[in-house]
Amino acid sequence: MSDLERLELEELKQMVAQPLERVIVRSRGSQVTRSAWRLEASSPTGSGAIVLLELSAEESFYRGEGIFISWPQQKLT
């Protein structure tokens, strides 16, 4: 495990999450409004949110905001 991964794990241990909330989302170029789940969290290094959009039973998409913005799909999962 790299030093960066150890640091990220320590930050996650100190994270405080709010209850999940249902939100309305729209994607670029689409006329369809969907609902998604949003998890807000804060840590000593900042705050952010992870949004889960379930497109179908087989396909989900995650979007990171704030401190999670650069995280890849696999890590957001």
3-state secondary structure (DSSP) of residue 14 = coil
Q: Quote the pTM value.
A: 0.79
Domain extent, residue 23, equals 3-76
Give the C-alpha separation, 42 to 70, whole Å: 16
pLDDT value for 8: 66
What are the helix (H) ranges across 14-53? none
pLDDT value for 22: 97
Instruction: Band the pLDDT of 7: cuts 50, 70, 90.
Output: low
pLDDT at 55 over 70: yes
- Number of structural domains (the chain) is 1
- Give Cα separations from 7 to 2, 11, 16, 65, 77 (angstroms): 9, 6, 16, 19, 19
